[in-house]
Structure 1
Amino acid sequence: MTTTQIVLASRPLGMPTLDNFKFAEMELPVVGDGEVMLESMYYSIDPYMRGRMNDEKSYTPPFQVGKPITGTIVASVAESQSPFYKKGDVVVGMLPWQKKMIAPEDDLQKINVAIAPPSYFLGLLGITGLTAYFGLLDIGKPQMGETVVISGAAGAVGIVAGQIAKLLGCRVVGIAGSDKKIKLLKDEFGFDDGINYKTSPDMAKAIAVACPDGVDVYFDNVGGAISDAVISHINFYARIVLCGQIALYNSTKVPTGPRIQPMLLTRSVLMQGFIVSNYKSQFPEAIQKLEQWLSEGKLKGTETMLRGFDALPKALIGLFSGNNTGKMIVEA
């Protein structure tokens, strides 16, 4: 049996292009003991994938040229040689970009699609939700009445982080790239205010207007000039959650910005980066809490869904142009 896969054809310089991806046919092996054959249903598209396209040392190994791109995928079991999975089960795992694949049982986790749509286990009830949960609660530690600012607020993690901050009684300000996204954040997800960075020529002034009492928690998904502006209004004893730097992922040279260390020092500010896998042992309790909030109507998810296996490269490139609202997903 053959299947189609997408491999890394070449490493990008700056913004990825379609030429960096290649479609290839491969022969699937026979399903062995402790393995299952899967048919992909939904593919998660995430900013960290851009870093893995570079040949650089990081917290996770780079993609290899000529080898398939990998990511989190929801799939259905088509054939099983595992006592833990039967045909028709829906699972999630870190898997290759293929239409079908053979996977070891230990690489998979069964999901309960009665709780939420399967795609939610890539977003709100998956790594996205966990990233927002641990970053905000463990590092940000927001207190009732504090001002929380979120960059990339209309992205997958930003929308969840903002809703959790509202649940904790905070004033939440989101930064995004269109008036439509700002309206969505305020009308659908309860954000108190929003800033369209594309129409704000003076971001520092825009932050001052939106945050008259300064910034107590900054959930940073973006980096660059936006973060420079937010940090210029940071309060004493504030916390900066360093979650992502998507504005810089396609830079071909080291960018220069303000030296923020004196401000962090004199205002006793905590700035901490994190990788969600740092909290792996706590995933079950966090998922339980996210599921509870979802069932109570206190959290909502939103997705940008592209359809068709061929759309995967386009979807990944689109992340860096702000083409998504909420979680970017490709349906098989």
Structure 2
Amino acid sequence: MVVTKHWTKPGDFKGNPTENDFKLVEENLPDDLIDGEILCEAVYLTVDPYMGIPGEHLGKPFGKYKTMFGEAVSKVLKSKNGKYPVGTLVLAPSGWRTHFISNGDQPPLRPIPFDLGQLSPSLALGPLGMPALTAYSGLRMCEPKAGEICVVNGAAGAVGSIVGQLAKAKGLTVIGFAGTDEKVSWCKNDLKFDYVYNYKKITLEDALKESAPNGVDVFYDNVGGDFHHEMISKHMRIRGRTCICGSISNYNNKEPKTYPQNNLTIFLKELKIYGVLVTMHKSEGPNALSELAECIKKGELRYKEEVYDGFDQMPKALAGLFKGDNFGKAIVKASNYP
């Protein structure tokens, strides 16, 4: 009998997620599969900032709890489905669980949509997964042009690090903001951003006086809050474009902060403000991720992974995102592959 472990969230977060907000439960899975079913074991699981958004979350009910949601790279252990032989790697929104049974549609299984080569399967959750497609699609929406200036916050994170490199490749001047000197150094020296600042040590206004005194054309926002409001209100050029990807600074504010209206600035400068939701861009995923995979293999796209070893590390990994612990993409390794 296979025992699957689930991480569940009994209640809403009280502020940012902590390790104590989760409960580990177990479930026995059937020994025998029926025709069409597949037994999978999680190899790598993702944690992402959106998991900290308050409110009712998705997942299979388990008693009075629900399994935390999220994507995993899993391997097929047993199969009575010809599409998924034993040993196949699949992507699935299977949540925070070690094992699960699927019929291919529930939960939906997807083959990795590009050639991994010698790359780790974990990349399908980060620089070749949802964060990468979010970066790719959001930047494309902003119609970046060579010679323009791009600001990206969360610059050393899973999305921001890809955004900055893609913007550099298109000929933009890239200005990054990150939360530690180590992250600043990586973005500057390894990713070759033009300017990088530790936002804890310098104000946005003082930083942009040096690097963008005449304003910013493209702003890719992963942070929200004060940073977002100041950029929109003060630092965008005429017909500048903003992509709002996330708002990690205020997902779990106990009392939502209000800001003065900036409608006047938006229409006087004819600013365009986009939101990007990766599920709206699935159609471009295979081609985009195949293109990025080749860039990684050629050394043209750099990345970092913060790998937590063991399924028991899931709560710690998520809590770490909101403390700035992650460097690049946060991943939990639950089992070995092959």
Q: Same fold by TM (over 0.5)? A: yes
Residue of 231, 251, 257 corresponding to 1:255: 257
**Residue 113 (structure 2) pairs with residue 114 (structure 1):** no
* Identical-pair percentage: 37
Secondary structure (helix, strand or coil) at the match of 2:326 reads coil
Following TM superposition, by how much is the alpha carbon of 1:61 offset from its aligned partner in structure 2, in angstroms? Answer: 4.7
Determine if contact 1:207/1:229 at 8 Å carries over to the other structure.
Answer: no
Structure 1 unaligned segments of length 5 or more: list them: none
Tell me which residue corresponds to 2:89.
90
Following TM superposition, by how much is the alpha carbon of 1:19 offset from its aligned partner in structure 2, in angstroms? Answer: 2.9
Following TM superposition, by how much is the alpha carbon of 1:62 offset from its aligned partner in structure 2, in angstroms? Answer: 7.7
Following TM superposition, by how much is the alpha carbon of 1:210 offset from its aligned partner in structure 2, in angstroms? Answer: 2.1
Following TM superposition, by how much is the alpha carbon of 1:319 offset from its aligned partner in structure 2, in angstroms? Answer: 0.5
Secondary structure (helix, strand or coil) at the match of 1:199 reads coil
How far apart, CA to CA, are the structure 2 residues paired with 1:258 and 1:304? Answer: 37
- Give the letter for the 1:286 counterpart: A
Counterparts of residues 220-235 of structure 1 (less than 5 Å): 220-231=221-232, 232-235=234-237
Secondary structure (helix, strand or coil) at the match of 2:289 reads helix
Following TM superposition, by how much is the alpha carbon of 1:190 offset from its aligned partner in structure 2, in angstroms? Answer: 1.3
How far apart, CA to CA, are the structure 2 residues paired with 1:125 and 1:90? Answer: 15
How far apart, CA to CA, are the structure 2 residues paired with 1:91 and 1:141? Answer: 33
Counterparts of residues 55-94 of structure 1 (less than 5 Å): 55=56, 61=58, 66-94=65-93
Following TM superposition, by how much is the alpha carbon of 1:20 offset from its aligned partner in structure 2, in angstroms? Answer: 1.9
Q: Name the Cα RMSD after superposition.
A: 1.6
Secondary structure (helix, strand or coil) at the match of 2:94 reads strand
Q: What is the TM-score of this pair, normalised by structure 1? A: 0.93
How far apart, CA to CA, are the structure 1 residues paired with 2:41 and 2:218? Answer: 42
Tell me which residue corresponds to 2:142.
140
How far apart, CA to CA, are the structure 1 residues paired with 2:306 and 2:104? Answer: 30
- Give the letter for the 1:89 counterpart: T
How far apart, CA to CA, are the structure 1 residues paired with 2:188 and 2:214? Answer: 20
Moved over 4 A (4+): 60-65
Following TM superposition, by how much is the alpha carbon of 1:3 offset from its aligned partner in structure 2, in angstroms? Answer: 2.0
How far apart, CA to CA, are the structure 2 residues paired with 1:3 and 1:291? Answer: 32
Residue by residue over 1:204-228, the C-alpha shift from the partner in whole angstroms, topping out at 9 and shown as x without a partner, is 2222222133100000000111222
Residue of 278, 287, 290 corresponding to 2:289: 287
Tell me which residue corresponds to 2:217.
216
Determine if contact 1:54/1:62 at 8 Å carries over to the other structure.
Answer: no
Following TM superposition, by how much is the alpha carbon of 1:229 offset from its aligned partner in structure 2, in angstroms? Answer: 2.9
- Give the letter for the 2:104 counterpart: E
How far apart, CA to CA, are the structure 2 residues paired with 1:321 and 1:207? Answer: 25
Tell me which residue corresponds to 2:303.
301
Following TM superposition, by how much is the alpha carbon of 1:63 offset from its aligned partner in structure 2, in angstroms? Answer: 8.2
Determine if contact 1:223/1:248 at 8 Å carries over to the other structure.
Answer: yes
How far apart, CA to CA, are the structure 2 residues paired with 1:143 and 1:271? Answer: 17
Structure 2 unaligned segments of length 5 or more: list them: none
| More displaced 10-residue stretch of structure 1: 154-163 or 222-231 | 222-231
How far apart, CA to CA, are the structure 1 residues paired with 2:26 and 2:297? Answer: 42
How far apart, CA to CA, are the structure 2 residues paired with 1:171 and 1:63? Answer: 45
